[in-house]
Structure 1
Amino acid sequence: MPDIMGAKDIAFPHLGIYLENVPKSFTIFGFTIALYGVVIGIGMLLGILLAAHIAKKENMNPDVIWDFAIYAVIFAIIGARLYYVAFSWDQYKDNLLSIFYLRQGGLAIYGGVIGGFATLFIYSYTKKINPFKIGDCAVFGLVIGQIVGRWGNFFNREVFGGYTDSLFAMRLPVDAVRASDIKQTHLDGMAAMGDVNFIQVHPTFLYEGVWNLCLLIAMFVFRKHKKYDGQMCLIYLGGYGIGRCIVEGIRTDQLLIPGTQIAVSQLLGFVMFIGAVIADIVIRMRLKKKQA
């Protein structure tokens, strides 16, 4: 490992990984493009491709997925932004135009999930299609989009936890991180390499990405044993919900319910998990009664 850390470097010291000059953006023809947005865009495209592939295997017309995705992507982005702004209102109330500055980050996955599912039901109603058939394909794409999209947080130096010296500890130069994301726990563990001060944190974006990868594998396994339309949606909601609930407890940039110290995403994740489990049990019981 180098003895000096650059202002744009990122390191995982205990894994022996040192990345130099990791950019947040690049410029084409004088226009600055944020890698955060590029990565999310790639995740969305891969997600749509996977969902269309699953639809074809389920004897559905993959064009339905592409058509649905056009609306889902738009309203997922709107939902993700509104969710983030709603629970970070103090950052935007004095400059409402900053709500539209998406290149600076500030998208909440839960808002995207809510926007996506709302679009699913509206789209299915207008097209007179079973929403759960589409949903069971779409959630595969949603998970792969989340797995890839989390790396946008890596380039943005965001979505991390408090100080740690664990195996997966990540070092970030202080000046490369938004001031609002640096908490006292980070300052207490701050150190220096050369002229650069750095913080060493839990890479919670990575934890969530690994969890989602495990969830995706589990979904592929359970898909072969699906009992009813909508079951893959419930597996996603329950699996992602409990994973996010756990990881959210480590993050230091939690969005809180106004007037409380309750992390809204942690609470929502727990509710999603419990709701999915109860719904699955109820549906299975009804299916058994019909078969009896």
Structure 2
Amino acid sequence: MFALDTISFPNLGIVIENLPKSISVFGRFDIAFYGIIIGLGIAMGYIVASFQAARTGQDKEVYLDFAMYAVVVSIIGARIYYVVFSWDDYKDDFIQVFNLRAGGLAIYGGVIGGIITAIVYTKIKKMKFTLLADTACVGLLTGQIIGRWGNFFNREAFGDYTNNLFAMRLSTYDVNQNAITKKMLEMAEEGNYVGFIQVHPTFLYESVWNLLLLICILLYTKHKKFDGELFLMYMGGYGLGRAFIEGLRTDQLTLGDTGIAVSQVLAFALFVTSLGLIIYKRVTLKKK
């Protein structure tokens, strides 16, 4: 039996003990690992976007200027999106809406915020939106790859019971009780690890999927047929992976009491729309 603050991957023989959700600074206040990981993701995202700008002959300073606006708006958008679809958790304690240290950022809200910022920024700077989007999307994708590990430290964004190779085991006291299913508890009793749940590490699946997508986009950059194609590849590729991975999760943001997962529907719509636009644009270019 493992103690609290322990995460294990039993089928891989990995046990990580004494892993807290935050660190104490001089004993005066705590900083959540979730926030540290998000900050690291933002920094690395800018570095990768700058690399992409340099290899495509663009001014890197433009992306530093854009990032300063996009980061702020994206975080606000990610929080608003999460709060809107989790309103029952905040309606009786509104001040918690501003408590980002407890987690609660939805990537789609961040993407929407980033796109709005890009549209406004390129209009003011008289730049081509599709070119900026092609470059910025690799930075955004890098941020997502790293940012998902914030869910690992927070013990959230996991799927239902599994015993596959990457199955992850968590203490029931460390997770959101609403995300625990009957099947998890039944299998824990059957497997003699009561007090723990064994789940799909969906944060890991998504992080790996995004890494593969990033590699594909970077390799394809020199071969793109039109400005905006890389951005559409990102939206469609991410949507395809998220549509399947979201279906495994037990803490989905849903449309009221319908049980319909908002992110899963949006992900599938992004995949279909992006694929359709790529095909349309390529056919149009071929005709010309």
TM-score range, shorter chain: over 0.9
Q: Give the one of 137, 140, 143 matched to 2:141.
A: 143
**TM superposition shift of 1:286:** 2.0
Q: Once the two structures are superposed, what CA deviation does each residue of 1:222-256 show, in whole Å capped at 9, x if it has no partner?
A: 11211111010000000000100000000011111
Q: Give the one of 211, 214, 238 matched to 1:213.
A: 211
**TM superposition shift of 1:163:** 0.8
**TM superposition shift of 1:35:** 0.2
Amino acid across the alignment from 1:28: V
1:8 corresponding residue in structure 2 = 5
Q: How does 1:226-237 map to 2 (within 5 A)?
A: 226-237=224-235
Find the aligned partners of 1:193 and 1:23 in 2 and give their Cα distance. 26
TM-score norm. by structure 2 comes to 0.96
Q: Secondary structure, in 3 states, of the residue corresponding to 2:148?
A: helix
Unaligned runs of 5+ in 1: none
Q: How does 1:196-207 map to 2 (within 5 A)?
A: 197-207=195-205
Task: Tell me if 1:23 matches 2:20.
Answer: yes
Unaligned runs of 5+ in 2: none
Find the aligned partners of 2:193 and 2:225 in 1 and give their Cα distance. 60
Q: Secondary structure, in 3 states, of the residue corresponding to 1:171?
A: strand
Find the aligned partners of 2:286 and 2:193 in 1 and give their Cα distance. 67
Q: How does 1:60-79 map to 2 (within 5 A)?
A: 60-79=58-77
How many aligned positions are there? 287
Amino acid across the alignment from 1:106: G
Q: Give the one of 112, 125, 128 matched to 2:126.
A: 128
Amino acid across the alignment from 2:269: V
2:266 corresponding residue in structure 1 = 268
Amino acid across the alignment from 2:148: R
TM-score norm. by structure 1 comes to 0.95
Find the aligned partners of 1:37 and 1:18 in 2 and give their Cα distance. 24
2:96 corresponding residue in structure 1 = 98
2:163 corresponding residue in structure 1 = 165
Q: Secondary structure, in 3 states, of the residue corresponding to 1:122?
A: helix
CA-based RMSD: 1.6
